[in-house]
Every structure is written in C-alpha cells, then in structure tokens.
C-alpha cells in the first residue's frame, strides 16, 4: 500500500505500522540500531521530543500518557492518538508552527515533515531491535532520501544523524536511506 501525501492520512498509516511493531515487542530492554538505545528508548524518543517542539512552535499542548518507563506501549498509543487527533482536527489546517531553525510552516506540514518522517525511520529501528518485519515503504524511502541528500551538510551538522554508512551502489531505496541516516542496514541485536 502506497503512503498518502495527505499529512493526516500519512500519519495514520505510519503510526499504524509503528503501533504494530510496538504491540509485537516482547522485550523493551533489547538493544536497538541506535547506539546506546534500547527498544524502550526508541519509543521514549518519539514520545518525548515532539511535545516540547510542538508546544514551543505552535502553542499546542498534547495530553500526556503514561510514562514510557512504566508502559511503553500505552505511552506510545496515547501519544500517537493525540497527534492523530490534532491532524484530524479541521482547525489544524489554519495553524502554523514557527521555529528558529526551520522558519514558519503550516502545522500539518511541519508535523508530517519532521515528526511523521521520524516515526517512519524509527519503525525500522524498533522492528530490527525486536526481530519483526523491518520493511519500509520503498517509494517513501526514495522520496525521503531524495529530499534529504541535498541538505546533507545541514542534516549532519544538526547532530541528529550519525555518519553516513556506505552501502552498495545498487542497494534498494530502504538500504540507501538507512545508510544515509547513519544506520547499518545489516545491524542485528
């Protein structure tokens, strides 16, 4: 199934895929492909970085769920549902997000570009850490990579991505994207 270009629908699809991996996780303390992170930390990252970013840039306050340490699955579900409700709210279409690093964007587009894309990439991390299906939508992988490569210097200087991992020239889009964001596509726990 191809991913939608509509921010609310794309979040619904990507959020559902991540939720499937969350529900399939049997141990939250296994290592992940992100150095020094466990499966729990992958969820923690998504649940904890976005609310302050959203609050600072748009004044939107997401309702808090249970703590990730106590209930990673519950924390994720509460967070995912809150983001989806925001995207589904007709009033969101008229809201903006302002950030000194990215400027001003329509709120739904900012969520899609920065948060939903992050969920998409971390789906691989959680799946790989927990031995689940780690395939990502190949078209979206190719589109993300095409959009990120021209900004490589800026992306690397942000500290949010590791050094590029070399992959074969004929690698598929997912493998190339993973290498670009600093993941070893061959990583195993």
**Cα dihedral value 51, 109, 146, 153, nearest 10:** -50
Within-domain flag for 112: yes
Side-chain-side CA neighbours of 28 within 13 Å: the count stands at 16
Q: How far apart are CA 11 and CA 7, in angstroms?
A: 6
Q: Are residues 97 and 20 in the same domain?
A: yes
Q: Are residues 89 and 105 in the same domain?
A: yes
Confidence of residue 34 (pLDDT cuts 50, 70, 90): very high
Q: So what's the pLDDT on residue 115?
A: 97
**Interval 46-104: pLDDT, tens:** 999 999 999 999 999 999 999 999 999 999 999 999 999 999 999 998 999 998 888 89
Of 114, 134, 154, the residue that ends a domain is: 134
Domain encompassing residue 158: 136-189
Q: What is the pTM of this model?
A: 0.95
Q: So what's the pLDDT on residue 156?
A: 83
Which CATH number fits the domain that encloses residue 92?
1.20.120
Within-domain flag for 187: yes
**Contact assessment for residue 123 and residue 17, using Cβ atoms and an 8 Å cutoff:** yes
Domain count for the chain, please give it: 2
């Amino acid at each position: 199934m191809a991913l939608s270009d509509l921010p609310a629908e794309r979040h619904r699809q990507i959020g559902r895929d991540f939720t499937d991996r969350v529900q399939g996780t049997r141990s939250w303390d296994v290592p992940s492909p992100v150095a020094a992170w466990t499966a729990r930390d992958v969820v923690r990252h998504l649940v904890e970085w976005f609310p302050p970013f959203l609050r600072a840039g748009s004044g939107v306050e997401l309702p808090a769920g249970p703590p990730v340490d106590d209930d990673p699955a519950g924390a994720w579900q509460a967070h995912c549902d809150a983001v989806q409700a925001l995207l589904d709210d007709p009033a969101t279409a008229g809201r903006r997000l302002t950030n000194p690093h990215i400027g001003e964007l329509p709120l739904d587009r900012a969520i899609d570009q920065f948060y939903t894309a992050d969920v998409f990439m971390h789906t691989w991390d959680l799946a790989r850490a927990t031995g689940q299906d780690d395939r990502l939508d190949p078209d979206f992988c190719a589109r993300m990579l095409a959009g990120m490569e021209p900004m490589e210097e800026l992306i690397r200087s942000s500290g949010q991505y590791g050094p590029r991992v070399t992959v074969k020239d004929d690698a598929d889009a997912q493998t190339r994207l993973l290498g670009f964001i600093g993941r070893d596509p061959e990583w195993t726990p």
